[in-house]
């Protein structure tokens, strides 16, 4: 079996992609910050189903971290990531240095409205999505991929990327993949490793609360009242809640008069020093 081709520069990446294109292969891309877990590997496997060859990008993008968020603490585990990508039969790893992505004089940022200013993550991480959208647009054009797979766990990010690809006419299909969860419901995340054993025990409450609200609303309970109960339960368990909201699933606008479907429940809360996010569809249990 061919090994993963490791590329560090845009020229190397393009050369490797060009070789595959010569054989008429389609290309899928899975953008990541590294510290790969089973959730990422599921994205690579989904990309394998949708394209002939898969590029995984591993880049801890400094422009999406605020000064208050410790970029240097972000886990960097390239050797282990590579081993996992080998097992998942990824074809190309793109792991550039910061200077390759943001050379001296870099001066362009994607400017966003719509789902990027929905008052969810953007309220707590105001510069985050400009950094995400800019790097994702660059990774799309660097890889020239036909399809990109993103986890639904970062649901606002998925909406922002979809909107951006559509608005900028980027010739790529953006696919959302359901959140991969631990057996107790906790959404897989590179940040889970920072939870103490006690916090790890509490963390699945976020998913249980979302599920409880969805199930109650689906049998006719008042959604706002259920959200209020959920907020109280999360805070009583010792989380510091950033938000717990129900929004329209496609653009993250408030539900207003549009009813329950298709809607999304989204939550963000801090447990000690770790910030956790999660979301589910306001629909019968699926994940």
The binding site comprises 64, 151-154, 157, 180, 188-191
Site residues for ligand PAF, 147-206, by CB under 6 A, read 154, 157
- Give the 3-state secondary structure of residue 157: helix
36 near ligand PAF, rule: CB under 6 A: no
At its nearest, how many Å lie between ligand PAF and the CB of residue 109?
A: 14
Quick one: which of 4, 82, 132, 280 contacts ligand PAF (CB under 6 A)?
132
Quick one: which of 82, 136, 142, 195 contacts ligand PAF (CB under 6 A)?
136
Q: Is position 37 annotated as part of the catalytic site?
A: no
Quick one: which of 135, 147, 160, 246 contacts ligand PAF (CB under 6 A)?
135
Judge whether 58 and 94 are in contact, CB under 8 Å: yes
Q: Residue 121 to residues 129, 133, 259: CA-CA distances in angstroms? A: 9, 14, 23
Q: Residue 102 to residues 9, 59, 63, 71, 133: CA-CA distances in angstroms? A: 12, 12, 10, 16, 14
- Give the 3-state secondary structure of residue 205: helix
64 near ligand PAF, rule: CB under 6 A: yes
User: Which residues 6+ apart lie within 8 Å of 221 measured at CB?
Assistant: none
31 near ligand PAF, rule: CB under 6 A: yes
5 near ligand PAF, rule: CB under 6 A: no
At its nearest, how many Å lie between ligand PAF and the CB of residue 272?
A: 22
Region from 7-15, 27-35, 88-96, 267-275 binding ligand PAF, contact rule CB under 6 A: 27-35
Q: What is the DSSP letter of 6?
A: E
Quick one: which of 5, 13, 27, 33 contacts ligand PAF (CB under 6 A)?
33
Judge whether 135 and 143 are in contact, CB under 8 Å: no
Q: What ranges make up the beta strands (E) of the chain?
A: 5-7, 27-32, 53-58, 92-94, 147-151, 173-177, 240-248, 263-271, 274-281
95 near ligand PAF, rule: CB under 6 A: no
The residues that touch ligand PAF, with contacts defined as CB under 6 A, are 31-33, 61, 64, 132, 135-136, 154, 157
């Amino acid at each position: 079996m061919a090994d993963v081709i490791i590329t560090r520069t845009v020229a190397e990446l393009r050369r490797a992609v060009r070789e595959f294109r010569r054989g008429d292969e389609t290309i899928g891309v899975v953008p990541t910050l590294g510290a790969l877990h089973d959730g990422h590997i599921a994205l690579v496997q989904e990309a394998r189903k949708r394209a002939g060859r898969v590029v995984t990008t591993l880049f801890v993008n400094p422009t999406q971290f605020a000064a208050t968020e410790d970029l240097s603490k972000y886990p960097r585990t390239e050797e282990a990531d590579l081993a996992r990508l080998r097992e998942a039969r990824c074809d190309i790893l793109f792991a550039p240095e910061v200077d390759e992505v943001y050379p001296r004089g870099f001066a362009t940022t994607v400017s966003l409205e719509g789902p990027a200013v929905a008052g969810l993550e953007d309220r707590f991480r105001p510069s985050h999505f400009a950094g995400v959208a800019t790097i994702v647009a660059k990774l799309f054009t660097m890889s020239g991929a036909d399809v990109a797979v993103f986890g639904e766990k970062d649901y606002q990010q998925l909406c922002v990327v979809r909107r951006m690809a559509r608005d900028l006419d980027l010739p790529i299909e953006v696919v959302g993949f359901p959140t991969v969860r631990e057996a107790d419901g906790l959404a897989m995340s590179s940040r889970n490793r920072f939870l103490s054993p006690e916090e790890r025990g509490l963390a699945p409450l976020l998913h249980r609360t979302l599920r409880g609200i969805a199930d109650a609303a689906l049998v006719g309970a008042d959604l706002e009242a259920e959200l209020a109960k959920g907020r109280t339960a999360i805070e009583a368990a010792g989380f510091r809640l950033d938000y717990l909201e129900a929004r329209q699933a496609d653009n993250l606008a408030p539900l207003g008069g549009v009813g329950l479907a298709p809607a999304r429940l989204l939550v963000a809360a801090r447990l000690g020093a770790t910030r956790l996010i999660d979301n589910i569809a306001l629909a019968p249990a699926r994940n």
